[in-house]
Amino acid sequence: MSAYFVTATGTDIGKTFVTAGLVRALRAQGRAAGAVKPIVSGFDMMNPAGSDPAVLLAAMGEPVTQEALAGVAPWRFAAPLSPDMAAAREGRAIGFDELLAFCRNAIAAREGTLFVEGVGGIMVPLDGGHTVLDWAGALGLPLIVVAGSYLGTLSHTLTALAVIARAKLTVAALVVNETGDSAVPLAETVATLRRFSRLPVISLPRIKDSVAPPDMFAELAALI
């Protein structure tokens, strides 16, 4: 059994795309793999089939039912805001200890590899005193950090990596998921990040389909 925490430099960067791709890639190799995304903001209660948790369930070959959604993402909020704000809109709060217990139980129950997908970027607030960084640090899992290739990503990514390094967390891989319609060359972005980060940097070119073929994640899966 192994586990990884998937985070990003910001929101809508591609965490779920990468997490689902890794699950599919490992399963295609005959390896057991699964994922949870405990906290979701912007969850459409009327269209759960289009949600991030549903994408993860599909990658695991599981149907999208209310029970399955609750098992993957117990904290689902309608407002597309940071988790603390989204929870407050509904008169709710995220119990940090409860969140950690859910993740630890999921890791213990999963055969093979489990990916714990975070919410938003690495410094997004979860409640009045905790961020995603605190969540990842408390679990103590190696991180997979997802970044984009848009103009500005170099500063955002290196800043996120500096914060993670200061917290003494381990980064297993940095994944650059190509940003659509970006004028910045993906190869140059990757080359710069390799020069400054000294981490395994994996590039993922933009594709038209929402579901990537497993071999697209072969290089990243080899690090798992």
Q: What is the pLDDT of residues 172-199, one digit of tens each?
A: 999 999 998 889 999 999 999 999 998 9
- Give the C-alpha separation, 71 to 89, whole Å: 23
Active-site residue, 37 included: yes
Quick one: what percent of the chain has pLDDT higher than 70? 99
For the cut 80, the answer to whether the pLDDT of residue 99 exceeds it is: yes
Closest to 80 (Cα-Cα) out of 51, 58, 103, 111? 51
- The pLDDT of residue 181: 87
Average pLDDT for 67-92? 97
Q: Are 32 and 113 in contact (CB under 8 A)?
A: yes
Q: Report residue 190 as tokens.
A: 């990757």
Closest to 216 (Cα-Cα) out of 224, 128, 206, 194? 206
In degrees and rounded to multiples of 5, residue 206 shows phi and psi of -65, 135
- The pLDDT of residue 1: 74
- The pLDDT of residue 53: 97
Average pLDDT for 59-79? 97
- The pLDDT of residue 148: 97
15, 37, 168, 208: the catalytic one is 37
Paired with 24 in beta bridges are none
Q: How do residues 118-143 score in pLDDT, each as one tens digit?
A: 999 999 999 999 999 999 999 999 99
- The pLDDT of residue 59: 96
